[in-house]
Every structure is written in structure tokens, then in C-alpha cells.
């Protein structure tokens, strides 16, 4: 997804700066049960001041609706400005949608901030929520302001055209959630008495497609594309390819603020074995495994999760180790009623796969580790044993999560034995500047219609911004105090597959891993390839995977290597 200058993004940044200057700070609270609430709160709550809660209406996040009044109220009040569920950065996996539920969540948020008494102002839809708070929590809500909040409307009002001058609720929705410039202009006509001058369509598209809220991104599942986007187009193709292959997108709430996304079979076939594909650092799983999914689907029930902080998976918990990642993946598989599986882990995914094999010996069958330096030690960074072109773990993080065109080029050189042609900085910068999406970069050289296109993985949205800190923590945790003596041995049949010229985890680590696992392991080295073997030599990679998982698998299809029960 390429990106031109965005007026909306620039304005959003100005509002954020304005809120901070007024004495507020951004805060996110996990309410449990898959519910996360974002709120602007005082940098320091003053107990001598009353508390004022401002609840926004439909539209963009709360900053856009209350920016004009915040500076006037902060001197006299402790001002709290939440994003309601499905606005801004607030969301839930629960099914409730009523204003009563919204009110309960806002009050739970205020309880988490140790606020027991408040005045409330609700604007438009926010007025519905404010009214419900006043009705449910009479002892905790003081004075109430309701701004243009039609809490007294009845269902029949829409039919009689007394509300919004439309004839159906569907038409209301199409205007309140505009998807075209024409609908945006209609919303303006509804909202203003003295309408602003008509705006050009390209400007309105900027507003419509600019994902001002995490919730909108999660719901729409489409990236912003104001210019033509190779990335967005490629991501859509991969999504179509996965769906056509017989997979469907699924999101599972594991509890404790942990959400896991996974591509799962549309129908699990108990007569087939299960194959779990675990991606490495970079783009979402679609980008890393698209080339092999169609070949494995006829023989396996294929599951392809997004690890935490990649794609649409995330957690509010503090754990960052590959061990905790392995436990989350296994919990995901348990939620899918899968009890036995073979596993392929690529690069960082190999660390997770290895940990799964070590922790869950009875549930993990055959294991493939692709360019996964699980045997590296902390000292290897300083001695040049890993990440050949960097000298510290901090530098490694800068390259793996690039923020400049130069770092992107360095990542390409690090990952490929024969790097693709360099792209101009203006092209690279378009991708780097995408500030509203989850994820991180991965680079692919894709020959399509005779064109060599450098594609950037967009992790269902794109690039590395929102979870950049968490990814840095993953890298730091992977490296800190790492010793071979602490690495358990796995007993499953294991294929270690490596690129001959890997500069991320050099070939010596493959031999070290083979010695550590012992006779249960087989080492295969692919010639003339670097770390990105799934991109540089996908056909040869599949050949070895097929040989290990299918051709050389014990012919006996006994229950000892079945999938276990699976409820469809």
C-alpha cells in the first residue's frame, strides 16, 4: 500500500499533540473478556478538582470531536475522554452492542482509573451512553449534559421520516459510515446547518480510507490505498488464494487480553493429519506461506496462525518469550479441538516450533525448523555468529523493524543471497510512513507478468508502527542470557533446513543444532540461497518438506499419529 501526503493523518497528529499539551496522556486499559478501552486521562489526577467525562458520538475518534473544548475544561476539571468500543483504539470480542453495555464498559474504565464520581457530557451517540450511565449508576454520576442525543427516538420514527429524513435504518448506516465521497457529502448535509464548501473527492477519500481507529481497521480488514498499491493488491490476492485453497480466517479470544488470529480449514477432516505452519519475523503468515499452501491442503488439515504482535494477533500481557508464544499457539489449537500436529517453523517461527516440541512432546509429531537459530547464544552477537552485518542486538532490531529506506535496503542484503534490484527511496518511504497499521516489513521478489516487484508484507494491514515496541522486546528477549546449556533436547523426528549463505543465522548454527538434537535430526542445506529461502527457492523448499512430511512419513496411519478429536 503506497501512500501520498495525508491531510487527515496530519490533522490527527495535531490533535494528539494538542491533547498532550493540554495535560492529557493516552492510556489503554484491559477490562478482561477481550475488551480493551482507550482513554485520554490526566497526566496527574488532582483530587481537589471534580471529574468531567466527555463521551463522543459517531464519527472519528474522540480527539476530533472534543479538541476545541479540552483546553477550556482542563484547568477546572480532571478531564477523561474515552474512545467508545469500536472507535479509536477501543474494541471488544464480546457480542454486546447496546449503549447499556457501552455505559458499563466506560464505568469499568473509570473504576480502573480509581474515579468514583463524575459529571458527564455525551455528544450525539455519546449522549445515549451518558444517559444510560446516569440511569445505571445514579450514585456515581453527577450532572449530565446531553448534546443532540436522540435518546427518546422510537423505531417507528425512522419509518415516518422524523429522524434523519430517511426511510430505512440501512440507509442511515450507509450515510453514518460513508464508503464513498457521495455518501460523505450527504453526511455533511445532514450534520451542518451552514455547510462548508464542497470538498474534492480525493480529499474525502483520504478521510474515508484513512484508518483513524484500530476498530475500523479490524472491521474493514482493508488497508488505506489513496494511490495504487502493489502491497494492498498482493495482500488481497493472498487472502483470495488462502480462501480458495479451503481455509478461512478465524479469531480466537484466549482470555487475559490475548487474541489469536489463524487461518483454519473450512472443514476439518479427521482422516487427515494436521500441519501447523508458523511464520517468522516480517509480514503476516499469508505472505510467508502462500507458495506452499495449495500443495499441502490435499494431504493435511493446515493451520496458519499469526503469532502475537503480527497480523491480527495481540496481547496485553507482558510475556515476550518464544516459550509463551508456543503456549499461546497450543492454546489456540486446543480451542480448535486439535490435539496432535506436525509443525513447520520458519526463522523466528522455528523458535516457537522448537519450544512447542519441547513443552508438548505427546502432541507434536514431526518438526521442521527452517533457518531457525535456536542454538545461538547471547555471545554470538558480539562475536559475529549471528546477524553478519550488525554488531549489536539494538542494531539488529533497527534492521528487522526498519524505519528508513537505508534500513530496508540493509534488511534486503541481510535476507537474500542474491538481492533484488534496489528500489528508489521515495517508493520505500511511502511504505515506512504508514503510521496506522500493525506489523513489520518483509521483502519479496515476485515475478508477475514479467515484472519484478518489490513487495512489502502488510500483516493484514501493513508495516511496523503500532507494535514496534513489542517487536523490539521480542528480539531483546530472544537474545538476552541465551545459552545452549538451557536449551532442552527435542525427541521428535526433526528436519533442519537451511540456506547455504544465511547471514541472519549462519550455517554453523544449523550444524550446532544438528549436534544438539542428535540422531533424530536430519540436516538439509539449500545451495545458493540466504535466509529468505521461502522466497529465493520456494520449489526446492517444498520438495524437502514434502519428502519429510509426506513421502518419508511412516506408512502406518494409526491413531498414534492421528489428529485426535476435532469438533466441526
| More confident: 284 or 535 | 535
| Nearest-angstrom CA–CA distance, 502 and 525 | 10
| More confident: 211 or 352 | 352
Residue 280 DSSP SS3: coil
User: Which residues, in sequence order, are bridge partners of residue 78?
Assistant: 51
- Asked if residue 565 has pLDDT above 70, the reply is no
pLDDT band at 562 (very low <50, low <70, confident <90, very high): very low
- Asked if residue 514 has pLDDT above 50, the reply is yes
| Nearest-angstrom CA–CA distance, 388 and 548 | 30
Q: What is the pLDDT, as a whole number, of residue 466?
A: 54
Q: What is the pLDDT, as a whole number, of residue 231?
A: 57
Q: What is the pLDDT, as a whole number, of residue 414?
A: 84
The reply to whether domains 7-152 and 248-377+472-553 share a CATH topology is yes
| Nearest-angstrom CA–CA distance, 260 and 253 | 7
Question: Cell triple for residue 378?
Answer: 547471547
Host H or E run for residue 454: strand 451-456
Find the mean pLDDT for residues 531-557.
84
CB count within 10 Å of CB 99 equals 20
Write the DSSP assignment of 13-73 as a string of letters.
HHHHHHHHHTTEEEEEEEEETTEEEEEEEESS--TTS-EEEEE--SSS-HHHHHTTTHHHH
User: Which residues, in sequence order, are bridge partners of residue 278?
Assistant: 345
Chain CA centroid to CA 377, Å: 29
Residue 457 and residue 282 in contact, taking contact as beta carbons nearer than 8 Å = yes
Residue partners of 536: CB distance under 8 A and separation at least 6: 416, 417, 418, 445, 499, 529, 530
Residue 532 and residue 504 in contact, taking contact as beta carbons nearer than 8 Å = no
* Phi and psi torsions of 195, nearest 5°: -70, 145
Q: What is the pLDDT, as a whole number, of residue 104?
A: 96
Q: What is the 3-state secondary structure (H, E, C) of 448-515?
A: ECCEEEEEECCCCCCCCCCCHHHHHHHHHHHHCCCCHHHCCCCCCCEEEEEECCCCCCCHHHHHHHHH
Question: Cell triple for residue 133?
Answer: 450511565
Instruction: Give the fold, CATH level 3, of 248-377+472-553.
Output: Rossmann fold (3.40.50)
User: Which residues, in sequence order, are bridge partners of residue 300?
Assistant: 273
pLDDT band at 298 (very low <50, low <70, confident <90, very high): very high
Reported for 175-183, long-range contacts at CB under 8 A and 24+ positions apart, including other chains, are 176/58, 178/208, 179/208, 180/208, 181/205, 181/208
Q: What is the pLDDT, as a whole number, of residue 383?
A: 64
pTM of this structure: 0.57
Pairing mode, if any, of strands 141-147 and 247-255? unpaired
pLDDT band at 568 (very low <50, low <70, confident <90, very high): very low
**CATH tag for 7-152 (out of 3.90.1150.10, 1.20.1630.10, 3.40.1190.20, 3.40.50.1820):** 3.40.50.1820
- Cell numbers 473509570 label which residue? 110
Question: Cell triple for residue 148?
Answer: 443532540
- Asked if residue 232 has pLDDT above 50, the reply is yes
Highest mean pLDDT among 279-283, 318-322, 335-339, 387-391: 335-339
pLDDT band at 481 (very low <50, low <70, confident <90, very high): confident
**94-122 tens-digit pLDDT:** 889 999 999 999 999 999 999 999 999 99
Question: Cell triple for residue 440?
Answer: 513489520
Question: Cell triple for residue 235?
Answer: 495482500
* Phi and psi torsions of 436, nearest 5°: -115, 20
Residue 190 and residue 164 in contact, taking contact as beta carbons nearer than 8 Å = yes
Q: What is the pLDDT, as a whole number, of residue 455?
A: 35
| More confident: 106 or 564 | 106
Q: What is the pLDDT, as a whole number, of residue 480?
A: 76
Mean pLDDT, rounded, of the chain:
81
Name which of 74, 132, 70, 123 is nearest 98 in CA terms: 132
Q: What is the pLDDT, as a whole number, of residue 406?
A: 80
Q: What is the pLDDT, as a whole number, of residue 111?
A: 96
Q: What is the DSSP letter of 313?
A: -
| Nearest-angstrom CA–CA distance, 478 and 419 | 26
> Where along the chain do its domains lie?
7-152, 248-377+472-553, 386-467
Name which of 490, 497, 474 is nearest 545 in CA terms: 497
Find the mean pLDDT for residues 24-48.
94
Residue 52 and residue 80 in contact, taking contact as beta carbons nearer than 8 Å = yes
Residue 287 and residue 273 in contact, taking contact as beta carbons nearer than 8 Å = no
Host H or E run for residue 249: strand 247-255
| Nearest-angstrom CA–CA distance, 163 and 150 | 9
User: Which residues, in sequence order, are bridge partners of residue 53?
Assistant: 80, 120
Residue 117 and residue 45 in contact, taking contact as beta carbons nearer than 8 Å = no
Length of the chain in terms of residues written = 568
Q: What is the pLDDT, as a whole number, of residue 426?
A: 58
**156-193 tens-digit pLDDT:** 765 554 545 566 677 777 777 888 888 888 888 888 88
Question: Cell triple for residue 360?
Answer: 508438548
Residue 369 and residue 494 in contact, taking contact as beta carbons nearer than 8 Å = yes
Q: What is the pLDDT, as a whole number, of residue 65?
A: 92
| Nearest-angstrom CA–CA distance, 82 and 76 | 19
Q: What is the pLDDT, as a whole number, of residue 447?
A: 31
Q: What is the pLDDT, as a whole number, of residue 558?
A: 44
CB count within 10 Å of CB 410 equals 18
- Asked if residue 393 has pLDDT above 50, the reply is yes
CB count within 10 Å of CB 45 equals 13
Find the mean pLDDT for residues 381-406.
68
- Asked if residue 389 has pLDDT above 70, the reply is no
Find the mean pLDDT for residues 487-513.
94
Question: Cell triple for residue 301?
Answer: 488439515
| More confident: 132 or 471 | 132
Residue 240 and residue 225 in contact, taking contact as beta carbons nearer than 8 Å = no
Q: What is the pLDDT, as a whole number, of residue 482?
A: 81
Highest mean pLDDT among 186-190, 386-390, 425-429: 186-190
pLDDT band at 51 (very low <50, low <70, confident <90, very high): very high
Q: What is the pLDDT, as a whole number, of residue 234?
A: 67
| Nearest-angstrom CA–CA distance, 568 and 564 | 13
Amino acid at each position: 500500500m503506497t501512500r501520498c501526503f495525508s491531510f487527515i493523518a496530519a490533522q490527527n497528529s495535531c490533535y494528539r499533540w494538542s491533547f498532550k499539551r493540554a495535560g492529557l496522556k493516552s492510556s489503554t486499559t484491559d477490562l478482561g473478556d477481550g475488551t480493551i478501552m482507550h482513554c485520554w486521562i490526566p497526566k496527574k489526577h488532582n483530587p481537589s478538582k471534580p471529574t468531567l467525562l466527555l463521551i463522543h458520538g459517531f464519527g472519528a475518534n474522540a480527539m476530533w470531536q472534543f479538541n476545541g473544548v479540552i483546553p477550556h475544561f482542563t484547568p477546572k476539571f480532571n478531564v477523561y475522554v474515552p474512545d467508545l468500543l469500536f472507535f479509536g483504539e477501543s474494541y471488544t470480542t464480546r457480542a454486546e452492542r447496546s449503549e447499556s453495555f457501552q455505559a458499563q464498559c466506560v464505568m469499568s474504565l473509570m473504576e480502573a482509573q480509581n474515579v468514583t464520581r463524575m459529571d458527564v457530557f455525551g455528544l450525539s451517540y455519546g449522549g445515549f451512553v451518558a444517559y444510560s450511565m446516569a440511569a445505571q449508576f445514579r450514585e456515581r454520576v453527577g450532572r449530565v449534559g446531553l448534546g443532540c442525543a436522540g435518546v427518546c427516538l422510537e423505531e417507528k420514527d425512522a419509518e415516518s421520516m422524523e429522524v434523519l429524513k430517511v426511510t430505512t435504518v440501512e440507509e442511515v448506516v450507509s450515510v453514518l459510515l460513508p464508503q464513498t465521497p457521495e455518501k460523505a457529502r450527504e453526511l455533511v448535509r445532514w450534520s451542518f446547518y451552514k455547510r462548508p464548501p464542497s470538498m474534492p473527492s480525493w480529499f474525502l477519500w483520504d478521510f474515508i480510507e484513512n484508518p483513524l481507529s484500530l476498530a475500523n481497521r479490524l472491521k474493514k480488514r482493508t488497508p488505506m490505498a489513496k494511490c495504487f498499491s502493489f502491497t494492498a493488491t498482493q495482500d488481497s490476492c493472498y487472502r483470495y488464494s488462502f480462501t480458495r485453497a479451503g481455509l478461512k480466517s478465524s479469531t480466537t479470544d484466549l482470555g487475559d487480553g490475548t487474541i489469536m488470529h489463524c487461518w483454519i480449514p473450512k472443514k476439518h477432516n479427521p482422516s487427515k493429519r494436521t500441519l501447523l505452519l508458523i511464520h517468522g519475523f516480517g509480514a503476516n503468515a499469508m505472505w510467508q506461506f502462500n507458495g506452499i499452501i495449495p500443495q499441502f491442503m490435499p494431504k493435511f488439515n493446515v493451520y496458519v496462525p499469526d503469532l502475537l504482535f503480527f497480523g491480527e494477533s495481540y496481547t496485553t500481557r507482558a510475556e515476550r518469550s518464544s516459550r509463551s508464544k508456543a503456549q499461546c499457539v497450543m492454546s489456540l489449537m486446543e480451542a480448535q479441538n486439535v490435539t496432535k500436529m506436525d509443525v513447520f517453523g520458519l526463522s523466528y517461527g522455528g523458535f516457537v516450533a522448537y519450544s512447542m516440541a519441547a513443552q508438548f512432546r505427546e502432541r507434536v509429531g514431526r518438526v521442521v525448523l527452517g533457518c531457525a537459530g535456536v542454538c545461538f547464544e547471547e555471545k554470538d552477537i558480539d562475536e559475529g555468529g549471528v546477524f553478519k552485518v550488525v554488531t549489536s542486538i539494538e542494531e539488529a532490531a533497527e534492521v528487522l523493524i526498519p524505519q528508513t529506506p537505508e534500513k530496508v535496503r540493509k534488511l534486503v542484503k541481510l535476507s537474500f543471497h542474491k538481492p533484488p534490484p534496489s528500489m528508489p527511496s521515495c517508493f520505500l518511504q511511502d511504505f515506512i510512513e504508514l503510521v496506522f497499521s500493525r506489523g513489520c516489513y518483509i521483502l519479496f521478489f515476485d515475478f508477475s507478468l514479467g515484472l519484478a516487484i518489490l513487495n512489502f508484507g502488510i500483516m493484514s494491514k501493513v508495516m511496523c508502527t503500532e507494535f514496534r515496541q513489542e517487536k523490539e522486546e521480542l528480539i531483546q528477549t530472544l537474545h538476552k542470557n541465551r545459552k545452549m546449556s538451557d536449551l532442552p533436547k527435542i525427541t521428535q523426528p526433526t528436519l533442519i533446513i537451511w540456506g547455504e549463505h544465511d547471514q541472519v543465522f549462519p550455517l554453523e548454527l544449523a550444524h550446532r543444532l544438528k549436534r544438539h538434537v542428535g540422531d533424530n535430526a536430519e540436516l538439509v542445506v539449500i545451495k545458493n540461497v540466504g535466509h529468505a529461502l521461502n522466497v529465493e527457492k520456494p520449489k526446492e523448499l517444498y520438495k524437502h518438506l514434502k519428502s519429510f512430511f509426506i513421502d518419508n512419513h511412516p506408512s502406518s496411519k494409526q491413531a498414534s499419529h492421528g489428529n485426535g478429536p476435532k469438533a466441526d
